[in-house]
Amino acid sequence: MSMTDPIADLLTRIRNANLNNVDQVEIPFSSLKRAVAEVLAREGYVRTVAAKGDGTQKALVVTLRYGPDGERVINSIDRVSKPGCRVYTPVTKIPRIRGGMGICILSTPKGVLSDRECRKQNVGGEIIARIG
């Protein structure tokens, strides 16, 4: 099965698991998906990211994070740059999500970074996703 947009698939699986209060979600592995999931982990939106298996059966296991009373940490997760319409931005125009309470994930020449990391390193790039 060929997948047109694997990043949208990653975000959709996380969104669906979050809406159903599932603890872990398993996603087919790729290094870009792992980098996006690791940004979510660094920013505190997911608990852990781990790879399991090897070869063609390799998968990415993402453990979601919930609040003390079971409330969702991720309220919204949206794909911005799509295969048919790429969205690029310089560092000065990176949007602030929910007044700084959310993040943008960007693909930059220095790797996949959150908007805060991009501003710190003074680098722009392709806006992959918006998380609030």
- Is 51:78 a contact under the CB 8 Å cutoff? no
Q: State the Cα–Cα distance between residues 132 and 130, nearest whole angstrom.
A: 7
Tokens read off for 89: 């931005």
pLDDT number for residue 1: 47
Q: Does domain 6-131 have CATH number 3.30.1490.10?
A: yes
- The structure's pTM equals 0.92
Q: State the Cα–Cα distance between residues 57 and 53, nearest whole angstrom.
A: 6
At 36, give phi and psi (nearest 5°): -65, -45
Each residue's pLDDT tens digit, 14-67: 999 999 999 999 999 999 999 999 999 999 999 999 999 988 889 999 999 999
Tokens read off for 35: 């980098």
- Is 44:37 a contact under the CB 8 Å cutoff? no
